[in-house]
Each structure stands twice: as C-alpha cells, then as structure tokens.
Amino acid sequence: MEYIFDYGKKSINLKIPEENIIKFNYTQNKPPVKTEEEIIQEAFLKPFAAKPLNEAAHKKKEVCILVSDITRPCPSYKFLPHLIAELKKAEVEKIKIIFGLGIHRKHTREEQIRLVGDLAAKECILIDSDQNRCRKIGTTSSGTPVEVFEEVLDSDFIVATGNIEYHYFAGYSGGSKALMPGVCSYNSVAANHSMMLDEKAGAGQYRDNPVRQDIEEVGRIVNIDYIFNVVLDDHKKIIGAVAGSNNEAFIEGMKIYDSFYEISSPEKADIVITACGGFPKDINLYQSQKALDNVKDIIKDNGTIIMIAECTEGFGEDKFAEWMQHASDFEYLYKRIKEKFVLGGHKAVAVSKLLTKAKVLLYSDFDTATTCNIGFNKITYIQEYIDSRLSGEKNLRFAIIPNGRFVRLSG
C-alpha cells in the first residue's frame, strides 16, 4: 500500500505492506455531498441558540471578528465574505478583524491579507493582537486573570471564529479558544495553561477538563456574542460548520468533529508514522508537537514514532527551544514546570513525557546535531528505514496517521 504524507507544501510517498497495517475503527462519517459554500451558508441560516447574525448584530457600532493566525489551518478567507455580508445587512458601523497571536510572532501585511482574503482586507481593519495592550476585567474561579487585548474589549459585538480539531490539553480548538489564549496577555495564558498538568486535560476532553472550562469561563466574562467554527478534512476543505451562541454552537461543532475523527483500535502499533498535514501546521516544531502528542496513545511502550514535519521556522518559540535542550530528562523538566510554569516550556514537558514511552525519529529541516540535542533521532530516508525494519521483523505493526493533529484514540 502507498501512503501520502504532506510535508510543508510538498508530499512524501511511502510504501508499507497492507498486512502490516493496523486497521482502525472509525466513527467517521462520510463528508457531506455539499459544496463549501453551501455548508457555510447553511450554518448562517441555522444558528444554534441564537438569532441570525444580521439580527443579533443589528446596528452595532463596532464589531470585532477574532480570526486564526498564520500557524493555524483555518481557511478564514473562505467564510469571511459571508460573515461580512451578514454584518453589512446588520448595518454595523465598523468591522475589525483581529488575529489571535497568543505568544506567536506578528504578521506581515501580506500575510494578513492572504489569511483573510482581498474583500475582508478592503472592507475591514486588520489588527494583530498585542500582549502589551491588554486590560484586566476580572478573574476566573480557577484564578486566571482575564487580561484581554484592548481592541477586543473596546468592541460592542464579538464574533469568534476558527476551526475545531483535537488539542492535546485544551481538549479541542475552536469556540472560546479564539479569545483565550488568542487575544489574552502572557499572564492570562500562563495561568490557564498551567492546568495542563492535570490528568483530565487531554485531547477530546471537555466537561471535566480544567483548561477547557477555564477557557469557557473567560469567554463568558468577556462575553463572546457569536461564534463561527468550521471542521476541515485532510486537505483543509470545509466539511462542517456551526454558527450561533457561545458555547451551544461550539458543543454541536465538537459532536460533528468527533463523528469524523474519533478512532478506536483493539491493538497498538510498533511504529507510528505521522505528519501534521503540511503547511502551516508544520511550519515549526512548536506547532508540530500537537500531532506528536495526539498519537501517543496509539504506540506500544518502547515503540517508535516517525514524525514528518518540515519546521522551516525552526522551533517557533524561544522558551520552547531552550527547554527542548533538556527533553531527554523528563524528571528535571517536570520539576522545573511545577516550580514555575513557563509558556513554551510547557510543550517541551509534553514532548519529554512522551519520550519516556517511545522513540521519536524526526524527518525535518533540522540538522542532525539539533535533532539529537532535543531527544529525537534524525531520519533522512524513511522508506529505507521501513524496509530495513521489516526485513528483520516481518510481523511489525504500523499505524499510519497522515494528519496526527486530527485524530484521537478513544477508550
């Protein structure tokens, strides 16, 4: 059997005998026989627990649309024309599009336009969020300071957008996550993410997940007025969408996502081969780590994960890069993060924990020395490695996960 893995803007083909492949049980629905336009329009026509957007935002003075930054796969440019058309019907005075950067780098003007499309760039004001321009408006029950970008707080109607997919400790992306961590201060994000060490903070976990419930509380304190979220397939095509009240619409979106991507298996793999879905999800290791974490429950103890991630922008975050130099020493990193939670360091701890269970071979732009320094092994010829392993162990079991960020192995 031949399998295709996206790598940056290219692809890699690998051949593995079918008899060696683990067969997953999918709850997977078939993609709808509808165009992306039809799916988007239907979501706006049938909002959950809310009036149509053009009524809900009627004559608002300043509307703020929260959108994903360049590290996310969300195709905002596909649905923003529809969203803007609804706001024009609502006779709003001003529309701002704010990119939720979290702790990521700022955009160039060209990147902003590419993300939202020409129409949105012409009709709206485009703004990168800024952690140095946040105001505190409250505190969650978990103690997280709610410090939000002032351009968001100065709006009188907030629309949160994004794509729904599994997140390794927040449960799912989407919904209120556009706000927290998207447009919150470093202090807010650090306080929220510090709860990732809780055993209930995992992919696909929602109601009992302390990180996710804290995110939802931030959404209520700030008062997100409307959400629009999409579900994507392996090729970033929209196969589902929800609109409406936060967070009723988001809960429906999670159900749709699970119906496509939750998997189960009676066995685990000796070797997992995974990727992130190509650009922009593998733009750096900081983003690629999510796919790595999502497949940790699929691998046998002491098994091998082959991670395909281009990482043209290297680590993607300085603190993450610094902490990753100690990824081979989980006890050290765990003790360090418990003493003081550091954003960026938190992802290195997740990688380090995985390395206590499995070996990771990384196919990327990183050189051999850098790859080894962070606890991985560099692999240059994946097909040769597969063939070599099979020549000595003919009954090896492989799990093929072309888009590791999408899947979750259920109980």
Each residue's pLDDT tens digit, 145-202: 999 999 999 999 999 999 999 998 999 999 999 999 999 999 999 999 999 989 899 8
Asked if 272 and 298 touch (Cβ cutoff 8 Å), the reply is: yes
Please tell me the distance from the alpha carbon of residue 163 to that of residue 158, in angstroms, as a whole number.
17
pLDDT score recorded for residue 24: 80
> For residue 348, what pLDDT is reported?
96
Q: In this structure, how many other beta carbons lie within 10 angstroms of the beta carbon of residue 17?
A: 12
Write the pLDDT tens digit of every residue in 367-385: 999 999 999 999 999 999 9
Give the per-residue pLDDT at 27.
60
pLDDT at residue number 236? 85
The reported pLDDT for the residue numbered 216 is 97
Q: How far apart are CA 332 and CA 318, in angstroms?
A: 19
Return the higher-pLDDT residue of 402 and 391.
Answer: 391
Residue-wise pLDDT for 325-348, tens only, equals 999 999 999 999 999 999 899 999
Distances, alpha carbon 92 to alpha carbons 57, 67, 82, 123, 190, in Å: 7, 19, 15, 12, 35
The DSSP bridge partners found for residue 240 are 231
DSSP-derived pairing of the beta strands 408-409 and 262-264: parallel
Please say whether the beta carbons of 126 and 80 come within 8 A: no
pTM of this prediction?
0.82
Dihedral angle over CA of 79, 80, 83, 86, nearest 10:
-120
Q: Whole-angstrom Cα distance, residue 157 to residue 170?
A: 25
Report the SS3 class of residue 308: strand
Instruction: Answer yes or no: is pLDDT of 409 > 70.
Output: no
More confident position, 407 or 275: 275
The yes-or-no verdict on residue 30 having pLDDT over 80 is no
For residue 182, what pLDDT is reported?
Answer: 94
Block residue for tokens 């192995």: 409
- Structural domains in the chain, sorted by start: 2-24+265-409 (3.90.226.30), 36-261 (3.40.50.11440)
What does the pLDDT average to over 127-150? 97
Averaged over 265-281, what is the pLDDT?
90
Question: Which pLDDT does position 354 carry in this prediction?
Answer: 95
Q: What pLDDT does 28 receive?
A: 57
pLDDT on residue 26: 65
pLDDT digit string (tens) for 56-76?
Answer: 999 999 999 999 998 788 999
Q: Are 263 and 295 in contact (CB under 8 A)?
A: no
Residue 199 CB partners (closer than 8 Å, separation 6+): none
Determine contact, residues 139/120, Cβ cutoff 8 Å. Answer: no
CA dihedral 110, 115, 116, 118 (to 10 degrees): 40
Residue 371: name the closest of 342, 328, 318 by CA: 328
User: Percentage of the chain with pLDDT > 70?
Assistant: 97
The number of residues in the chain equals 411
pLDDT digits (tens, 9 = 90+) for 307-327: 999 999 999 999 999 999 999
Q: Please tell me the distance from the alpha carbon of residue 265 to that of residue 43, in angstroms, as a whole number.
A: 33
- Is 410's pLDDT higher than 90? no
Amino acid at 336: R
Mean pLDDT value across residues 264-290: 90
Q: Residue 96 pLDDT more than 90?
A: yes
Largest CA distance in the chain: 70
CB atoms within 10 A of CB 93: 10
